[in-house]
Structure 1
Amino acid sequence: MSNRIEDLVDRMPLEEQVMLLSGEDFWSLPAIERLDIPKLRVTDGPNGARGGGSLVGGVTAAAFPVGIAIGATWDPALAQQIGGALAEEVHSKGAHVSLAPTVNIHRSVTNGRNFECYSEDPELTAALAVGYVRGLQEGGVSATIKHFAGNESEIERTTMNSEVDERSLREIYLRPFEAAVKEAGTWGIMSSYNKLNGTYTAENEWLLTTVLRQEWGYDGVVMSDWFGSRSTAPTVNAGLDLEMPGPTRDRGDKLVAAVEAGEVDAAMVRERALNVLRLMERTGALDDRTEWTERAEDKAEHRALIRKAGAAGAVLLKNEGTLPLAAPKRVAVIGPNAKVAQIMGGGSAQLNPHYRISPWDGLVERFGAKALTFAQGCQNHRWEPLIEDGLSVDFFDNESLSGEPVHSETMGPSVAFWLEGVAAGKVDAKHFSARITARFTAEEAGTYSFGLHAAAYARMLIDGEEAIDVWDSWTKGRTFFEEGCDEITATRDLAAGQTVEIVVEMRTKPADNLHLTGWRFGVSRRLGDADIAAAAEAAKDADVALVFVGRSGEWDTEGSDLDGIALPGRQDELVSAVAAANPSTVVVLQTGGPVEMPWLDEVPAVLQAWYPGQECGNAIADVLTGDVEPGGRLPQTFPARWSDNPTHSQDPEVYPGLDGKVRYEEGVFIGHRHYEQQGTTPLFPFGFGLGYSTVAVEGLTVSASGDGVEATVSLRNTGERDGSTVVQLYVGERDAPLPRPARELKAFRKVVLAAGESEELTIPLAPRAFAWFDVDAGKWRITGGTYKLYAGLSSADLHCEAAVELSAATLDK
């Protein structure tokens, strides 16, 4: 700790120390001009740096692959490269802190935020988190690893009580946070919204002080998730340094009064303020007196890294010789995700990208437009597509659209996410109304669906006739972070070239948990049987049919879990129809997690491409053509059906939760551990992925090394081209004194081998790799006895085994 920040904090009266403990606005802390302390600024992450704008629009930024795509790389060094690039992005937005990475575990297959997290496995998640945090902080930007802890679902996430036994917390859910603190030295941590075992995490002393600071030795800042602090003395005393966003709701004068009343010790406030000053010193914010600006820096090296990472995370799930593509002359490009670049998930991770390369764009660049034919076939949107431009908005400084507008502006597309500064500050952001006008022209005759949802009271008029009412009949749904209603639709038959006027009127409503106002509306022609038939016809005469299906950030989004893992809409029918028309059909999936594949036996090749960032189409084309190896391996098990997943239960308290409580009944048997325990064969196992070459694991030897173990794995590329794979090392305890998974991932390495090349890879295992957490003793314990080690290429492909004898031990850490 420097003398500088000690001196600064001791020169501050209580009121100034308190100023540092809450935001001034949505994205910054107040400057303390008397002491020449500038602002500290934060920006959302983790797949980019949005800056201080709204969740839509704003200064453009580089869009990197989402968390699960980075998870699929199994490459901590690449995660570190990405973190370093994102540090540059954060600097370009005038910020010092990135609200990233997200390291919650994939407990269920339907969590809306799985796309943002790395994996179902704590060791894979921990290793990637360490790399990412190191990259960010080497660039002078603080990580804010989140959400600490027990936020594995988006259902009632701001109030839900997550009941998790301590052993499961220690071995599974806290593991990435522990690694980020002890190995990467993270400077920031964000508490989650939910309760953990009955206490909100923002005021959970056991979590924030006993575990985090006393046991792990953390000396950074703990900040609340936005509006996630609900009290004054309890949060300060528990270990929450910073309430976000501002202006303060629970601190300021309330905290000063709490100190004067003896509810909070003044020394505690000093400690919290010192933590914030330490963060400012570490990030350079204490000396950053430059005028705040946000820049759009579209760097060539970032483009290249995003493209590389997109391919490195692409998982080849099936290939019967169709891939890589061998210069086809006629390519049918089919599906709802073919001409739309699905580059990111939804929620606070979304940003305004510099550009979007769709799969169609990438294939045109590779094969030329003349070689390609397109058919959409069906739709997969959750909400009706936006009207992109030409909207006009009139704002009223009341909630009844009365009088003359106080402000008018044009905008586009037809979505708004208003937090502060609405209508150039001419209305109270919590009490106003607006009238939005747009025009839509039908390109062809058909039945058109109009949709509206809002975190506001709203209604839609089409050519002056009310079509949708959520003004008088608004009901809470799963949009706008659970502050909005679900989409309501209405249909109209339109002739080709017919133009209609759409008017949406809205007024603010009281906030439930998060203080925001938003609306979204759109329109599309409904597709049907004829469109699927047209797609099959387009595929019939092609050398290869590429079908781009999946989901989007409308489905994979913060604030809303999925209802299941079947592909939305009629996409399964589309795949089957195309496969029947052309035996050389390749399915390219873009989702934030597993999907059911009833058509799997009908197609020769399947590639999972996730949401790979702004270079989406180029990265996919690189893999399809074989210019780049499909480098990904599954970071999450793909079950054959939704009901096979670890949280499926007849008891809704297990999932999705009941009466405000969700019970983690499965304990440590999560992810691949669950499928093995239950004897359930998944569709694709954890760690699985194919390459264009074949790498064999041919041997495993184990020896003691100091107080740990060294495992040596023999590898050989048996294919005809250079290839990569991920060697995975699992540990099992033969006679454990308590239920333990038969095999747990404890180490892995990504390797690249030339055709015919062999390698012996030595992987060290620390004592912790063999330990379980003894709740009664509060220590990690090695039982002692025989331990089996397994090496292979997935959780279901572990044909090399070795045993080692270890003595009983109690570990200090």
Structure 2
Amino acid sequence: MTWNISDKELGALLDQMTLEEKTTLVTGHGLWRTSANYRLNIPEILMTDGTYGVRYSIEQIDGPQDSDSQLASFLSVVNADLSRGVEGAFGSTRPATCFPNGSSFACSWDVGLAHELGEALADECQAFGVNILLGPGINIRRTPLAGRSYEYYSEDPILSGEIAAAVINGMQKNGVGASLKHFACNNSEVQRTTMSSVVEERALREIYLAGFERAIRKSNPWTVMSSYNRLNDVQAAENRWLLTDVLREEWGYDGVVVSDWHGIKDRAASMNAGNDLDMPESAARRQELLEAVKDGRVSAKALDRSCLRILKLIRTARNGLRTNITADFRKHHALSQRMAVESIVLLRNQAGLLPLDGTKLQRIAVVGAAAREPVIQGSGCATTRPTEVDIPLDEIRRLAPGATVTFNVVSDFAPDSAGEQAALTNIDAADVALFFGNTEVGYDGEGSDRTDLNLHDGQDELIDRLSRRNGRFAVILATPDAVAMPWVNQTAAVLAMFFGGQGAGRAVAEVLFGVHNPCGKLTVTFPVKLEDTPGFLTYPGENNRHIYSEGIHVGYRSYDKRKLAPQFPFGFGLSYTTFDYSNIEIDLHSIDEADTFTVSFDVTNTGKRAGKEIAQIYSRPHNPRLIRPLRELKGFVKFELQPGETKRVEVTIEARDLRYYDCDHRRWLLDAGKLTIEVAASSRDIRLERTIDVEAPALPSSILTVESQPATVLEQEFARKRFGAFLKEQLDLDDEETVKLLEYCGGSFLGIYNTVAWVAGDKISKDAMAAFLDSLNREMGRAIGKAA
């Protein structure tokens, strides 16, 4: 079972392999395995899908492995119609725990819980003989329409990276590898294998790559999966800047890069870029690689490097196998319920409608098919056949045993239909009405983006209509991402479950009836309407290019900068109790790039119920050198308080996380000056703040050239003094004359050379000015290097 072999022995194996064997090793076998080499006793490893559950297809994994059968089976997955059910979509799939999907459980903001998820996924993988689970997925939820939003965590890279690292550590410490995906900018399903995500480098690094870097630094996943899309007009699987320059050389990653399934279009280009493993098996692409190595388009060294990485991966995976493991599905179902409880977000609760008292209610009207047939997950390769499913309607009846609970579907309320009057009577007579709403089942998933932010099948109109008849009206939403709520001010309460997994039915009922206090908070911003979303004007792209026009201002960063009120802000979530914040302290008054500091503060539960709070730490720069968001998340913590209890809370922040990326200097930089650290209950609910000093070189806003406007040279005292000294020496000026010339230069719109030449003629040559500015740039660059 295991494969105990040293690095030296791995090298010897590589030396014995023929070119054909090497190209076979870097090509998958069938849909889900690496290629074994029986001549050299190199075993295979098995991988399968699942960002929130283990999808083990018996036909695909245990059935015929010929290419025709495998391609047909693969296409049946990605083109599946979820409305036919999981069995219809995937054939005979082994039951496994369907945990809350990424967009749901990230709302728990609970890193410890994410680690438990990783442990549970590892147990089920071990029971099935799976070595690598293809997840987690952490692409930024740039638009709520994106088809795979339900798999992803957040619009913020720090939150995404922290949760992903915890999941990966939970898996890999228990012998199962992760595949961090999709690298990078897989933010839409529109023409997903041909569309180019056109993203400026600063936004790439600060937003779209930052979560990956964080997860890799904190968990070192065994594999990273390249994405389907093109990135800045280069296929992601063939993008050397992405896979080698950034991932390998800057971040130091030395695991295996695996392609998304059939994501490679040019095998030689992908190997040269650093994409090691081509999945699934493709005889055509294997032959392309073989010919490319023979004719020198791919070096033998590049092929050997990828082979050695894959051999090391096989060794790690085989040695992680645990025999005689039996997955405890009952325990994992309970974990799924607990995760759902921690993740449900209470968005509205007028007049304290919730929690409900099941002992006092006489009539409860439940509306919506999702109460009886819960929507627990999205559609696509991640879809998991659940071991069991909690039914919300049954759980409501369990918690209100003395009440009459009526149930109607949306079609019962069709005007002039036979059942309309009876259905309306149920609403009118109810002590409380509970509406279970959802987006279109089967359309929220891989292969297609949503076309709007509406609920399905006229539900928005019906919510508005029914909530006007009964003021005690609560809406429970099962959606992949944010939705519009044109009816929100008419309803008394709103809960967001997202896709809460197989235990969400019990979880939401127990939150509704106060068995648990809601404690989830949003990981994305909910817009009032689709037109408010940051990338609206350039979504979904055209001519195979999707321009990310909002740059670094993704999600809450954009709403803050535009002073645009969202429906619900990032980080928002209500509770059945209340929390007060006080007594902020920061252990350092001044920081530089190498520092780590601790923010501490008191939080008191001022209500009558025990509850959990999620405190968020944001940074707000005062006078940023380049354009910056108003504030950005830098840390968070979740904790529980009993009624009246006060807890001293601490959050540690690394100064490296306060940096921004300067594309001219090609460095991460800290702004010199003042920085405010904010303690918040959400991005729009700042409770405490403290200002600290940042020690860093004070730089002009851009690299200086002879065409730079003089104000750019003069804006920082360091550069101003050097420039004044240069003019004084070159033009033989006294101090007063130098000051006056600097003042004159400061008001010019011309380039710095032309400005000086206008009054000094040819006394300073353009070459001399350029040489001075180059030396000044180098001097400032050295200052940056010392600070780093």
Normalised TM-score (structure 2): 0.81
Partner of 1:40: 45
Residue 326 of structure 1: which of 342, 348, 357 is its match?
357
Matched residue type, 1:129: A
Matched residue type, 1:562: R
Residue 691 of structure 1: which of 568, 575, 581 is its match?
575
Change (3 A) 1:189 1:553: farther
In structure 2, C-alpha distance between the alignment counterparts of 1:117 and 1:12, rounded to whole Å: 40
1:11 pairs with 2:19: no
Deviations for 1:449-491, whole angstroms, at most 9, x for unmatched residues? Answer: xxxxxxxxxxxxxxxxxxxxxxxxxxxxxxxxxxxxxxxxxxx
Partner of 2:658: 770
Partner of 2:754: none
Residue 312 of structure 1: which of 338, 342, 347 is its match?
342
Residue 215 of structure 1: which of 241, 247, 250 is its match?
250
Q: Is the 8 A contact 1:22 1:246 kept in 2?
A: yes
Partner of 1:392: none
The within-5 A match list for 1:662-741 is 662-704=546-588, 707-741=595-629
The alignment partner of 1:728 has SS state of strand
1:642 pairs with 2:642: no
Deviation, 1:369, is: 9.2
Deviation, 1:702, is: 2.3
Partner of 1:270: 304
Partner of 1:428: none
Matched residue type, 1:271: R
In structure 2, C-alpha distance between the alignment counterparts of 1:63 and 1:168, rounded to whole Å: 34
Deviations for 1:93-142, whole angstroms, at most 9, x for unmatched residues? Answer: 22101110110001112111111100011111111111111111111111
Deviations for 1:746-796, whole angstroms, at most 9, x for unmatched residues? Answer: 011111111111122122211112211122232211121100111110000
Bigger Cα Rg: 2
Matched residue type, 2:661: F
In structure 1, C-alpha distance between the alignment counterparts of 2:421 and 2:567, rounded to whole Å: 29
Partner of 1:125: 160
Deviation, 1:709, is: 2.7
Residue 160 of structure 1: which of 195, 214, 222 is its match?
195
Q: Is the 8 A contact 2:375 2:438 kept in 1?
A: no
Deviation, 1:263, is: 1.1
Partner of 1:661: 545
Partner of 2:175: 140
Matched residue type, 2:161: A
Q: Is the 8 A contact 2:168 2:221 kept in 1?
A: yes
Partner of 2:491: 603
Partner of 1:338: 371
In structure 2, C-alpha distance between the alignment counterparts of 1:616 and 1:529, rounded to whole Å: 34
Residue 114 of structure 2: which of 67, 71, 79 is its match?
79
In structure 2, C-alpha distance between the alignment counterparts of 1:240 and 1:114, rounded to whole Å: 25
Residue 313 of structure 2: which of 279, 282, 293 is its match?
279
Deviations for 1:229-279, whole angstroms, at most 9, x for unmatched residues? Answer: 11121111110001111133312x332221111111112111101111111
Change (3 A) 1:363 1:3: farther
In structure 2, C-alpha distance between the alignment counterparts of 1:610 and 1:247, rounded to whole Å: 37
In structure 2, C-alpha distance between the alignment counterparts of 1:264 and 1:341, rounded to whole Å: 51
Structure with a larger share of its residues in strand: 1
Partner of 2:32: 27
After superposing on structure 2, the runs of 4+ consecutive aligned residues of structure 1 that deviate more than 6 Å are 285-288
Deviation, 1:577, is: 2.8
Partner of 2:86: none
In structure 2, C-alpha distance between the alignment counterparts of 1:287 and 1:337, rounded to whole Å: 39
Residue 691 of structure 2: which of 803, 807, 810 is its match?
803
The alignment partner of 2:686 has SS state of coil
Deviations for 1:545-578, whole angstroms, at most 9, x for unmatched residues? Answer: 1110122541321111111112122112221232
Partner of 2:473: 585
In structure 2, C-alpha distance between the alignment counterparts of 1:315 and 1:735, rounded to whole Å: 35
1:564 pairs with 2:452: yes
Q: Which has the higher contact order (CA 8 A, sep 6+)?
A: 1
Partner of 1:196: 231
In structure 2, C-alpha distance between the alignment counterparts of 1:723 and 1:163, rounded to whole Å: 43
Partner of 2:717: none
In structure 2, C-alpha distance between the alignment counterparts of 1:77 and 1:533, rounded to whole Å: 49
Normalised TM-score (structure 1): 0.78
Deviation, 1:366, is: 2.7
Matched residue type, 2:177: S
Deviation, 1:532, is: 5.6
1:352 pairs with 2:385: yes
In structure 2, C-alpha distance between the alignment counterparts of 1:738 and 1:606, rounded to whole Å: 40
In structure 1, C-alpha distance between the alignment counterparts of 2:189 and 2:521, rounded to whole Å: 26
The alignment partner of 1:26 has SS state of coil
In structure 2, C-alpha distance between the alignment counterparts of 1:314 and 1:17, rounded to whole Å: 49
Deviations for 1:69-113, whole angstroms, at most 9, x for unmatched residues? Answer: 121111111111101101112222221011101100011121111
Change (3 A) 1:549 1:571: same
In structure 1, C-alpha distance between the alignment counterparts of 2:438 and 2:224, rounded to whole Å: 33
The alignment partner of 1:147 has SS state of strand
Structure with a larger share of its residues in helix: 2
Deviation, 1:737, is: 1.1
In structure 2, C-alpha distance between the alignment counterparts of 1:287 and 1:755, rounded to whole Å: 46
In structure 2, C-alpha distance between the alignment counterparts of 1:646 and 1:186, rounded to whole Å: 31
Q: Is the 8 A contact 1:635 1:686 kept in 2?
A: yes
The alignment partner of 1:222 has SS state of strand
Q: Is the 8 A contact 1:237 1:264 kept in 2?
A: yes
Partner of 2:3: none
Matched residue type, 1:597: M
In structure 2, C-alpha distance between the alignment counterparts of 1:798 and 1:568, rounded to whole Å: 35
Q: Is the 8 A contact 1:378 1:528 kept in 2?
A: no
Q: Is the 8 A contact 2:598 2:650 kept in 1?
A: yes
In structure 1, C-alpha distance between the alignment counterparts of 2:268 and 2:36, rounded to whole Å: 24
Partner of 2:83: none
Q: Is the 8 A contact 1:377 1:532 kept in 2?
A: no
In structure 2, C-alpha distance between the alignment counterparts of 1:378 and 1:119, rounded to whole Å: 34
The within-5 A match list for 1:394-433 is none
Change (3 A) 1:646 1:532: farther
The alignment partner of 2:499 has SS state of coil
Deviation, 1:609, is: 1.0
Partner of 2:756: none
The alignment partner of 2:216 has SS state of helix
The alignment partner of 1:696 has SS state of strand
The within-5 A match list for 1:399-478 is none
Change (3 A) 1:678 1:266: same
Change (3 A) 1:533 1:579: farther
Change (3 A) 1:39 1:600: same
In structure 1, C-alpha distance between the alignment counterparts of 2:535 and 2:420, rounded to whole Å: 35
In structure 2, C-alpha distance between the alignment counterparts of 1:33 and 1:557, rounded to whole Å: 39
Deviations for 1:667-725, whole angstroms, at most 9, x for unmatched residues? Answer: 11010000011111011100000111111222422231772332122211110111111
Partner of 1:488: none
Matched residue type, 2:612: S
In structure 2, C-alpha distance between the alignment counterparts of 1:281 and 1:361, rounded to whole Å: 48
Q: Unaligned 5+ residue runs, structure 1?
A: 380-525
The alignment partner of 1:345 has SS state of coil
Q: Is the 8 A contact 2:96 2:386 kept in 1?
A: yes
In structure 2, C-alpha distance between the alignment counterparts of 1:287 and 1:621, rounded to whole Å: 39
In structure 1, C-alpha distance between the alignment counterparts of 2:299 and 2:402, rounded to whole Å: 70
In structure 1, C-alpha distance between the alignment counterparts of 2:466 and 2:573, rounded to whole Å: 24
Query: Sequence identity of aligned pairs in percent?
Result: 38
Matched residue type, 1:674: S
In structure 1, C-alpha distance between the alignment counterparts of 2:166 and 2:312, rounded to whole Å: 22
